Structure 1
Amino acid sequence: MLAPRIRSYLCRIAGHAVPITYQALAKALDLSPPNTIHQLTVALEYLIEEDAAAARPLIAALVVSKTRHGMPAPGFFDCARRVGCFDGDPSGSEDPAFYAAEFKKAVEFWRVAAEDS
């Protein structure tokens, strides 16, 4: 399953406090076409569901779209809404503030989690 590999990789890079693009993550994990980005998004949504159920910061916040100026794809926000982590307006006006806060929490939490393991 891809999700545990993604979590492991993101834990290793969390301490850098720099997001990774979907494309760079696919390359780092050596994913093969077709649909590499789709494979990632399905697995990242699974990780969002896991983190929400465990009341942890969303590790998926470490992954961004290169075309969205350092923000995750809309599916990140949709999934966060669906699991009850974000109640922002679907228009997207609250997305940047939510993302900035979630990214900061994710870096702090997952950096420590990686150090403890």
Structure 2
Amino acid sequence: MAGEFGNPEVIEENVDVLLIGGGMACCGAGYEIMRWADAAKKETGIDLKIKLVDKAAMDRSGAVAQGLSAINTYIGTEQDPADYARMVSNDLMGITRDDLAYDLGRHVDESVHLFEEWGLPIWKTDE
């Protein structure tokens, strides 16, 4: 059942950074870019205009709103990024960029901690 949109108002804006999407990744990118923008303003005096847009209300956007909230990668203290890179390579039958998998492994826990700091509830087990 298609809806009729009629003649919607078109608003044009000039922005320095346009973030598209209301999911957790885009909202996290928006939060993080504000830290960089504040630092850039202090250093250069340039005030960046940043806008995040989405097709729906923010609380109904992205996989998190659909109940798909899961963090699939966390290294922890028992393993290191090299272990993660090996696991990815084995999982994908060696068709990987080990340097990229290793680099992701170096930063993934830090990202999870940021999500937790931003208020995302994270359920933990001893495993």
The TM-score with structure 2 as length reference comes to 0.28
Greater relative contact order (CA < 8 Å, ≥ 6 in sequence): 1
Q: Quick check: which has more Rg, 1 or 2?
A: 2
Normalized per residue, the structure richer in helix is: 1
The TM-score with structure 1 as length reference comes to 0.29
